[in-house]
Amino acid sequence: MKVLLVDDHPLFLDGLKNLLTLRGIEVVGTARDGMEALEKARTLHPEIILMDIQMPKLDGLAATRLIKAELPDVKIVMLTMSAEDEDLFEAIKCGACGYLLKTLDVDEFLSLFVGLARGEVPLSSGLASRVLEEFARQAMKSKSIKPVEAKTETLSARQMQVLTLVAQGLTYKEVGAKLCLAERTIKYHIGEIIEQLHLENRSQAIQYARAMKLVK
């Protein structure tokens, strides 16, 4: 993975660079504000950008919009202190494919970050349920999904992985191979997801994932 790091705190930036480099992850560059991030993304062509939100000149949300408009294949993960719903939902709308908090311990951060290479959605604990609940509210407004119940149950990390891969178009067999699980286990997880989200079928579950931008 070729990674660009964007943060306006030099000490944190250097520490993060060292952490990733020691774990064998290639850091192709760093930037200290959104404008510099856009310039570096153009010249360095990273696969992944770890982006802070609160920065001078151009914040991380605005930078994400500009980078995704110009370089849609770049994956952008927000790495921030903000756990506010407003920032979380806006980041997803801007095109971010993940949202991690700086309060994570090192092992959890690395596990979630490396999961990107397996098609997983890196979200700090507790944020996934907020994302799904927001989608449920929006879905009920548009009546695209029948609101059997207002409450949306929380999906487990494994269920999020399965839903994301299935929504990408993989067969149950292919998803099982990626996650080292039997095909029947994947079918079981999809059934549980449909039940927990109060949906009617697999197609609605895929619609759910895509509307929440868990996949492109």
pLDDT of residue 146: 45
- Note the CATH architecture for domain 2-118: 3-Layer(aba) Sandwich (3.40)
Q: What does the pLDDT look like over 133-153, one tens digit per residue?
A: 665 565 555 544 444 333 334
CATH of domain 127-211: 1.10.10.10
Q: What does the pLDDT look like over 157-166, one tens digit per residue?
A: 788 888 888 8
Q: Where do the CATH 3.40.50.2300 domains begin and end in the chain?
A: 2-118
Mean pLDDT, the chain, rounded, equals 84
Start-to-end C-alpha separation, the chain: 19
Q: Where do the CATH 1.10.10.10 domains begin and end in the chain?
A: 127-211
For the segment 23-30, the average pLDDT, to the nearest whole number, is 95
